Amino acid sequence: MSVATIEPCMASPVRKVPVEWECTTIGQLCNVKRGASPRPISNPKWFGGSTGWVRISDVTQSNKYLRTTVDFLSEEGVSKSVRVNIGEVILTICATIGVPIIVDTDVCIHDGFVWFESLPDRVNREYWYYFLASKTDEFKTYKQTGTQGNLNTAIVGSVEFGLPPLPEQKKIARILSSVDSKLALIDQQITTTQTLKKGLMQKLFTQGVGTQDADGRWQPHTEFQDTELGRVPLGWQCIPFEKAAYLQRGFDLPSQNREVGNIPIISSSGIAGYHNEFQVEGPGVVTGRYGTIGEVFYVEENHWPLNTSLWVKEFFGNHRLFIYYLLQTIDFKKFSEKTGVPGVNRNDIHKLSVSVPPVTEQKEIARILSTVDRKLENLQGQKTQTQQLKKGLMQKLLTGQIRVQPDPQDN
């Protein structure tokens, strides 16, 4: 990235911005227009056409560009909504507020969005997307009081900022786009690795890795047996889960009773704080009992599992990391109690039949899967670092703290 020394700034109603930048507000630059919804929304005559009708979830499940929607409006429905041209930027103003996206398909927006009518050509739309994205946290603080977190056109229009010349906008957008491309590549690698892990688990927990020969090399199983769980290698046990690992409810620890310390407190969703005492020696395995279910945690150190969790009290000589992965194969939602908040009865899990290989094979299965997990952790670390890089670049580039030299083709 070519970076120039920051140039002199001048005081303005906005803030100090480079002298070449235009001090303005969103409302001075364009017309902030709100979307509209056909009423009553339940009438099927509004739907069934080819024009996308953008939901908040369409935006939150997309990334930078909106290329598809779940719902589509009929011609009559379009007449009651607000159409947005391809290439323009829309912004969420209700529920999940302050999230921009570039429209890349034929759509209409409802009144949970605004778009920027008559945005001049001197504003690069990709730059405009990044500028709005940098304001998301600010938009959240501007939400109307007495609402469920909504903005309005006046609030959006009042936002002050400095607008760089178009060539500089294009260069800034190109830099941030390159970071987004890196993030997209990391996300793709994470998805690929997660798919690999899923396939490996399916194979390893039904076919295993085999037996070791005299040289310590693993040779595939050649003999199998039929069980209630299907065909598994000969020598594996088909037993109730409670014979492989015994689950115990966690311990109460009200927040007012917690003391400063370095012992992790494990809830149904992971580390919920720290304490100066522990209840369970590590390494241990913890999963959710109430609230968040289906997450499984391998805790290396001594810890305090909360009463919203279940912890493995007895491993019966089985490899602890293998039990951690075995729990990941269980569909906890199938056992979730029919209450307002998801919950699992440990007795249901205890009765579940599982196939368990000899300990030596358990260790090899756990080693293979932990290798994949380490790769996922590394990728997630790369993603976090890149996200932090992007956040820092956005803060500096979009405020003029760092200036960039436009590329020749942008002039």
C-beta separation of 81 from 37 below 8 A: yes
Q: How far apart are CA 306 and CA 208, in angstroms?
A: 34
| Cross-strand pairs, 211 | 219
Tell me the two tokens of residue 227.
């069980």
Q: How far apart are CA 206 and CA 139, in angstroms?
A: 51
pTM of the predicted model as reported, rounded to 2 decimal places: 0.85
Tell me the two tokens of residue 299.
């805790």
**β-strands 100-103, 107-109 pairing:** unpaired
C-beta separation of 300 from 282 below 8 A: yes
C-beta separation of 107 from 83 below 8 A: yes
Q: Give residue limits of the domains in the chain.
A: 22-163, 192-360
Q: What is the pLDDT of residue 8?
A: 42
Q: What is the pLDDT of residue 141?
A: 83
22-163 and 192-360 share one fold? yes
Mean pLDDT of each 10-residue bin along the chain, 411 residues long: 44 66 94 94 93 95 94 95 96 92 96 95 97 92 63 91 95 96 97 97 95 91 93 95 97 94 95 96 95 92 96 97 97 74 88 96 97 98 97 94 88 74
Just give the CATH number of 192-360: 3.90.220.20
Angle in degrees, 0-180, between the axes of helices 359-397 and 320-328, rounded to the nearest 10: 70
Q: What is the pLDDT of residue 96?
A: 87
Plot region of 36 (φ>0 → left; ψ -120 to 50 → alpha; else → beta): beta
Q: How far apart are CA 149 and CA 141, in angstroms?
A: 9
Q: What is the pLDDT of residue 38?
A: 93
**Start-to-end Cα distance in the chain:** 17
Q: How far apart are CA 375 and CA 191, in angstroms?
A: 12
Q: What is the pLDDT of residue 176?
A: 97
Q: How far apart are CA 172 and CA 181, in angstroms?
A: 14
At the topology level, CATH places domain 22-163 in: Adenine-n6-DNA-methyltransferase TaqI; Chain A, domain 2 (3.90.220)
- Cβ neighbours for 67, distance < 8 A, ≥ 6 positions apart: 104, 105
Annotate the chain with three-state secondary structure. CCEECCCCEECCCCCCEECCCEEEEHHHHCEEEECCCCCCCCCHHHEEEEEEEECHHHHHCCECEECCCCEEECHHHHHCCEEECCCCEEEECCCCCCCEEEECCCEEECCCEEEEECCCCCCCHHHHHHHHHHCHHHHHHHCCCCCCCCCCHHHHHCCEEEECCHHHHHHHHHHHHHHHHHHHHHHHHHHHHHHHHHHHHHHHHHHCCCEECCCCCEECCCCEEEECCEEEECCCEEEEHHHHCEEEECECCCHHHCCCCCEEEEECCEEEEEECCCCECCCEEEEECECCCCCEEEECCCEEEECCEEEEEECCCCCHHHHHHHHHCCCHHHHECCCCCCEECHHHHHHCEEEECCHHHHHHHHHHHHHHHHHHHHHHHHHHHHHHHHHHHHHHHCCCCCEECCCHHHC
C-beta separation of 133 from 183 below 8 A: no
